[in-house]
Amino acid sequence: MAINWFKYSAPTTFYGLAGKLIPWFAFSSAILFVVGLYIGFAVAPADYQQGEFYRIIFIHVPSSILSMFLYLVMAGYAALGLIFNTRLSAMMATAIAPTGALFAFISLWTGALWGKPMWGAWWVWDARLTSELILLFLYLGFIALHASIDDPRRADRASALLAIVGSVNVPIIYFSVQWWNTLHQGSTIKFSGTSMHVAMQQAMFITLAACWLYAIAVVLARVRSIILERERNTTWITELPEVRS
Amino acid sequence: MKPRQKRFVFIAVAVAALALVVGLVLNALENNVSLYFTPTQVFNNEAPHGRSFRIGGLVQEGSVKREADGLTVNFVITDKHKSIPVVFKGILPDLFTEGKGVVAQGRVEADGVMRADEVLAKHDENYMAPEAADALKKAEAANAAAATPASAPAAPAAK
Amino acid sequence: MSGLDIWMRENPLAYVWLGSYAVAFFIFTIEIAMVRHKRKITLQQVRLMREAEDEARDDKFGGND
């Protein structure tokens, strides 16, 4: 058993590093949420068309962006694990999936609550909304597939394939409003700039940063448990202070 | 639950989720991924005949007329080339205004009028304070007045 | 127009807070609780395993003496 020690050096150092970083990410996330929502609700003006309802944007847009980016990060880790057979990458992919799924759900939920008063419908089968719903199902499919296979290495490989195949959906979500006629409006944040009042923009970018930090903190905390679980037969785990005590 | 049963349940969930994904994709692709047709497409016979579909465009300025019952609304959807009159009985969304985006679902009858069952408002991706919007509108109006005094009116030609 | 439709137009900020932000932060809280629970359970399991191993080793050494 002691021979395996060096092979797992990556998770070893990562486990400790993640443990030190989590409080910082969590703390700055909380601060940024408070600041961002203060600007969003107290400083930013009401919208000329939508009045107060547009304020859903400060959670809707960050969670939509996160749901798409986290999927790409997850698929990237899954691909790394598949190609280089590194154990930590597969663990990271499994740790990201639940957070990504929750952000996709929040994006759909807040979108429905925004759509009802503004468009006149909770849900419309337009390309943007449908592809975001598919993203949620891809996350759930990834989680279910990984849980259905007992051998973790085989589970990693099978779910990695699903994650990689599913990543084609992310550009479809992003470009759907340009490619097809949709009820959903075009992108506010474009590569060329934004079409938004300054305070609204600041609030949105700050809550976006807060969501990012939150996601990183939760994913790191989850991956630490996964490392503990999967490497429990190694000496370095049994020598950890929290295990010894 | 035995591990075997657990495996079965999870596999069933995974398969169901995948089937749902594929089904949604195919469904979306088959009925044309676009949510609505423009009035021009309707005039070019690209829209389905004899069944309900959606038309999207702008509510033509000055076209909204309410009938005496207070519920029935007549308006015209235009894409600045072609336009289609719509009759709708029901509650309009808050953002329904002349000159703004709209999507109406219903059937186009032989007289060329759409009887809509559902009207949705489509808003744009610009967010600003009301004062800023007013200032922008005034500036645009001033520009338009200065730039095109002699040329033909740019207002959408009603068909 | 249903009661909810009227209510949300009269209280847009309450609608936005309760409908979107409260739900989102509730979901975050649940996720944090689940992550912490998982950490606790996993640590317990790993500790149990280690203790079992130690006992097994002690028994073996005891038998050899």
Which position has the token pair 């007992």?
Answer: A150
- A137/B10 touch (CB, cutoff 8 Å), yes or no: no
Domain boundaries, chain A: 10-45+53-244
Q: Between β-strands B65-66 and A189-190, what pairing exists: parallel, antiparallel or unpaired? A: unpaired
- Whether chain C has a CB inside 8 Å of the CB on A51: the answer is yes
The closest alpha carbon to A108, from A184, A47, A33, A172, belongs to A184
pLDDT of residue C21: 95
Comparing B159 with B98, which gets the higher pLDDT?
Answer: B98
- The encoded tokens of residue A88 equal 């930590």
Q: Do B25 and B55 belong to one domain?
A: no
Residue of B nearest to A135 (CA): B21
Q: Do B29 and B98 belong to one domain?
A: no
Q: Do B23 and B67 belong to one domain?
A: no
Percent of chain B residues topping a pLDDT of 70? 76
Q: Do B59 and B95 belong to one domain?
A: yes
- C43/A106 touch (CB, cutoff 8 Å), yes or no: no
- Whether chain B has a CB inside 8 Å of the CB on A196: the answer is yes
Chains that touch C (3 or more CB pairs under 8 A): A
- C24/A53 touch (CB, cutoff 8 Å), yes or no: no
Reduced to 3 states, what is the DSSP secondary structure of residue B92?
coil
**pLDDT digit string, tens, across residues B28-87:** 665 566 788 888 888 888 777 778 888 899 998 888 888 888 788 899 999 888 889 999
Q: Do B64 and B111 belong to one domain?
A: yes
Is residue B19 one of the residues assigned to a domain? yes
Q: Is B90 left (phi over 0), alpha (psi -120 to 50) or beta?
A: left
Count Cβ neighbours within 10 Å for each residue of C17-37 and write b for 16 or more, e otherwise. Answer: bebbbebbeebbeebeeebee
Mean per-residue pLDDT, B110-135: 84
How many structural domains are present in chain B?
2
Is residue B2 one of the residues assigned to a domain? yes
pLDDT of residue B12: 66
Q: In the A/B pair of chains, how many CB contacts fall below 8 A?
A: 129
The closest alpha carbon to A204, from A69, A104, A65, A99, belongs to A65
Split at pLDDT 50, 70, 90, the class of B8 is: low
Domain extent at residue B7:
1-33
Given a contact cutoff of 8 angstroms between Cβ atoms, the answer to whether A8 and A234 are in contact is: yes
Chains that touch B (3 or more CB pairs under 8 A): A
**pLDDT digit string, tens, across residues A26-76:** 999 999 999 999 999 998 888 888 888 999 999 999 999 999 999 999 998
Question: Can you list the alpha helix ranges (DSSP code H) found in A39-168?
Answer: 57-84, 87-118, 127-148, 152-166
Which CATH number, 1.20.58, 1.10.150, 1.20.120, 3.40.50, labels domain A10-45+53-244? 1.20.120
pLDDT of residue A165: 82
CA distance B24 to chain A (A): 8
Which residues of chain B make contact with A176, given a CB cutoff of 8 A? 33
Residue of C nearest to A60 (CA): C20
Q: How many CA atoms lie within 13 A of A165 on its CB side?
A: 13
Out of A52, A105, A228, the one facing C43 most closely (by C-beta) is A228
Q: Do B26 and B98 belong to one domain?
A: no
The residues of chain A scoring below 70 in pLDDT are 1-9, 190-194, 245
Q: Do B6 and B77 belong to one domain?
A: no
The closest alpha carbon to B77, from B131, B41, B125, belongs to B41
Which residues of chain A make contact with B1, given a CB cutoff of 8 A? none
Per-residue pLDDT of chain C (65 residues; tens, 9 = 90+): 578 888 888 889 999 999 999 999 999 999 999 999 999 999 999 888 888 887 887 776 654 44
